[in-house]
Amino acid sequence: MRTVLITGAKDFIGKNLAEELRRREGLAVREFDFGDAPEKLNAGLRQADVIFHLASIYRPLHPGEYETGNVGLTRALVDELERQGRHPLIIFESSIQAELDNPYGQSKLKAERILKDYAERHGAAVRIFRLAHVFGKWCRPNYNSVVATFCHNSTHNLALAIADATAQLHLMYIGDVVKAGLAILEETAPAAGCRFLPVEPVYTATVGQLAELMKVFRDIRTRLILPDLSDRLMRCLYATYLSYYDPGDLGYALDQKADQRGRLAELLKSESFGQIFVSRSRPGIVRGHHYHRTKIEKFIVIEGQACIRLQHIDTGQTVAYDIAGGDFKVVDIPPGYAHSIQNTGTTELIVLFWAGELFDAAAPDTYPYQVGTSAP
C-alpha cells in the first residue's frame, strides 16, 4: 500500500486529484490544507511515499501572505522531511507566473528553488509543473479563474465583466493536469533530481472569445444547437460550464408542438450531425406520409407498438416494419422513400427521430406522398 499526501486537498486541483486517487486500488490518501494543525502535516509526511504539493495562496488579504503561505509551507515541508530523514517523491504544481515579477509569481519561484535545493542535497526526486490557467469542475468563481467566473455568472444570469476582450488566455484542462501528475505516480522508480515537466495540451483563447462561448452555451437550452464538440477545448469548456449550474437548475423544459395527433419536441441540433427530436402519438395516429430528396433519417421506437411503412417513390416497392418499444430496432429512412409511422398499439407511442440535417422552414426538403398509393 502506497501513501499519497496531498497539500491543498480542498482546493480546486486538490479535490479533482483526490477524487481520482481514491478510486485507485493500493493507495492511501492523506490530506492537508491551510488551517490544519502542523502536526497533521508532519504525520502525513511520516507516512507519505508521494507528496502532491498543491497548497497555494492566490488572493491573500495582505501581500505578505504569499511569502508565509507559498514559500513558508514549502520550507516547513522540506525541513520536516529532513528532520525525519525521509525523501519521498515530491510533485509540485507551480505557475507560469514564476517567470514574472509579481508577488505571487516570485513566491512560486522561491518555492521551486527550495525544492530544487532539497533534491540536489538529498538525491530526492522532485517534479515541477508550471501551470497556466487551469479550468474545470469545482473551480472557485470570482477568485482566480476567469473561466470559473464566466461559467458561474452565465449559468446564474449575471453579467460578465470584461476589462480587455483581446487579452489572451493560456488554458489547461483539469483532467490533463491530473493525468500529468498521475503519470509520474505510475513510474516504477522516478529518477533523482529536480525536473520541470509540461502539461499538454495548452489551449489559447481571448477573453472575448471565452465570453462569446458563454453565450453559445447558455443558448443551447433554447436554440438547442450544440457547438462543434469534436473540438476538445469546446467539449471541455462545455462540460465545465454545465458543472456550474445549481442542482435545481439542471432540468429544463423543451418547447412542444401539440395537435390532435399528440406532441413533438426537438432535443438537440448540430450543424455537424443534424438534429434529434421525439414524438408522442395517440393510438391509431399516423405520422409522416412524405419523402425527402436528400435528407436522411433514423427512427427508433422507445415505447409502444408501431408500424413503419416505406415506399420507393420510383419503383413503388413497399416494406413494413412492426416494431415494439423493447425491440431497440432502428429503421433507416433513405432519400426517395416515402414513409409513415402508425401507432398500432393501445397506449401512447413514443418515437425518437434523428435527421441528418437541421430543419430549414424555407427549404424543408419534405414532400407529401401517401404511402400505399401507386408509384407515379
Judge contact between 350 and 263, C-beta under 8 A.
no
Closest CA to 127 of 89, 80, 96, 97: 89
How far does Cα 2 stand from its chain's mean position? Answer: 30
Residue 177, strand partner residues: none
DSSP states of 252-273: -PPPEEEETTEEEEEEEEETTT
Judge contact between 91 and 44, C-beta under 8 A.
no
Distance between CA atoms of residues 177 and 91, nearest Å: 12
Distance between CA atoms of residues 320 and 307, nearest Å: 7
Burial (0-12, 13-18, 19+ Cβ within 10 Å), 250: exposed
Q: Among 58, 66, 104, 241, which one carries the catalytic annotation?
A: 104
Concerning whether 104 is annotated as a catalytic residue, the answer is yes
Which active-site residues does the annotation give?
A: 104
